[in-house]
């Protein structure tokens, strides 16, 4: 399963995958909700407050390893210099992901991205056309023009120079996965839409919109830096290759998931919620997670390395609660522990 990214906003996705305010929170909430409501029917949403991620969360989380933050900023600058697009100009990005079952043990993820910011998106598209050396085609949908590019070819011409760091390796993996067509178009003056040609057309046709049930999942933590919500496919255990029947049944009982990452003071806050169809299934899931927590304490608690001690504290401090059909896991990780984990990354 691969999610295809477009080169002109790749830096945004890189930062998101690498680490895990400029605006009032009420304003941010309204922007996020309004942008997500434009998505076509999707099984899941990822919402990212780019400004808070770049200006607040990333600098704090990486404060113990400033050279890593310097490398990220250098990559953003390099992409800006090569393409004319500065990722820092984006304010919000939402990703609507539809799922398609390929076979009994594989599903394909079909994303569409909406990115809103300060840039005139028609100017961004013009830059993309120049960067592609004319290797694109145009499709008309009513009064709109959709530009279709071959992702790997374009990114290969404009990717930053590799330095063999973890960040560069992640970039290369992403580029190697870009083999299909990517469509990009202007939704309005400040909103870019891109993804597969079919998903971009769905966004404009408006025959279906993201369901309220999925929107409600991602809005459980409306002030989070990164949040997600999703309806899960039936028979989830098959897709992760679980042979244990009891654990598989427990996993299959999860119908919806939501989660968020926030930064508060000197702590990173992570929360995940799983929702089952019946209360007894939630009880079983709750007990399973508590059992795994006990096993984790036993296996990792005796470790002497600093990183093992951090993992032990994380397992110990994870709060698992249940309410009706929902099971919640909340974890607070202090910056001092984050620094220890980052110390082992080159």
Please report the pLDDT score of residue 345 as a whole number.
78
CA distance 187 to 273: 32
Q: Which residues contact 213 (CB under 8 A, 6 or more apart)?
A: 231, 256
- Render pLDDT for 158-211 as a digit per residue (tens, 0 to 9): 454 545 555 555 545 544 444 478 888 999 999 999 888 999 999 999 888 999
Please report the pLDDT score of residue 17 as a whole number.
36
The larger pLDDT score, comparing residue 270 to residue 176, is at 270
User: If residue 13 lies in a helix (H) or strand (E), which one and from where to where?
Assistant: helix 10-18
Please report the pLDDT score of residue 105 as a whole number.
65
Handedness of CA 255, 36, 42, 271 (dihedral sign): negative
- Render pLDDT for 276-306 as a digit per residue (tens, 0 to 9): 999 999 999 999 999 999 998 888 877 778 8
Tell me: pLDDT of 241 over 70.
no
- Render pLDDT for 312-330 as a digit per residue (tens, 0 to 9): 999 999 999 999 999 999 9
The residue ranges of every structural domain in the chain are 7-213, 232-343
pTM here is 0.78
What mean pLDDT comes out for the span 31-44?
Answer: 84
- Render pLDDT for 49-104 as a digit per residue (tens, 0 to 9): 999 999 999 999 999 889 989 988 888 887 676 655 677 888 999 999 988 777 76
- Render pLDDT for 115-142 as a digit per residue (tens, 0 to 9): 999 878 888 888 878 877 778 899 999 9
pLDDT-derived band at 48, boundaries 50, 70, 90: very high
Q: Residue 106 pairs with which residues in a beta bridge?
A: 103
CA angle 214, 205, 36 (to 5 degrees): 30
Among 39-53, 229-243, 308-322, the least confident range: 229-243
CA distance 146 to 149: 10
Assigned token pair, 118: 């300060």
């Amino acid at each position: 399963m691969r999610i295809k990214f477009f080169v002109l906003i790749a830096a945004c996705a890189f930062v998101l995958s690498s680490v895990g305010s400029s605006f009032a929170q009420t304003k941010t909430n309204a922007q996020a909700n309004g942008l997500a409501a434009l998505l076509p029917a999707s099984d899941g949403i990822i919402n990212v407050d780019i400004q808070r991620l770049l200006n607040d969360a990333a600098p704090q989380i990486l404060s113990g390893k400033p050279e890593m933050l310097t490398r990220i900023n250098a990559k953003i600058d390099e992409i800006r210099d090569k393409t004319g697009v500065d990722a820092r100009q984006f304010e919000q990005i939402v990703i609507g992901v539809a799922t398609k079952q390929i076979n009994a043990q594989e599903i394909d993820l079909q994303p569409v991205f909406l990115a809103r910011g300060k840039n005139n998106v028609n100017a961004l598209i013009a830059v993309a056309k120049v960067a592609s050396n004319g290797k694109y085609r145009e499709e008309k949908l009513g009064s709109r023009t959709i530009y279709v590019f071959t992702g790997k070819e374009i990114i290969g011409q404009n990717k930053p120079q590799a330095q063999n760091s973890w960040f560069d390796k992640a970039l290369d993996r992403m580029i190697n996965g870009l083999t299909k067509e990517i469509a990009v178009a202007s939704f309005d003056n400040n909103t870019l839409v891109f993804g597969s040609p079919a998903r971009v057309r769905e966004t404009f046709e408006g025959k279906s919109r993201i369901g309220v049930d999925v929107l409600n999942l991602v809005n459980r933590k409306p002030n989070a830096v990164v949040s997600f919500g999703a309806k899960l496919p039936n028979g989830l255990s098959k897709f992760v290759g679980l042979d244990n029947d009891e654990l598989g049944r427990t996993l299959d009982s999860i119908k919806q998931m939501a989660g968020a990452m926030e930064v508060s003071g000197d702590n990173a806050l992570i929360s995940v919620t799983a929702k089952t169809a019946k209360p007894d299934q939630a009880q079983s899931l709750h007990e399973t997670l508590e059992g795994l927590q006990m096993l984790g304490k036993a296996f990792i608690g005796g470790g002497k390395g600093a990183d093992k001690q951090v993992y032990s504290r994380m397992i110990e401090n994870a709060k698992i609660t249940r309410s009706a059909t929902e099971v919640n896991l909340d974890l607070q990780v202090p910056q001092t522990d984050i620094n220890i984990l980052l110390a082992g990354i080159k």
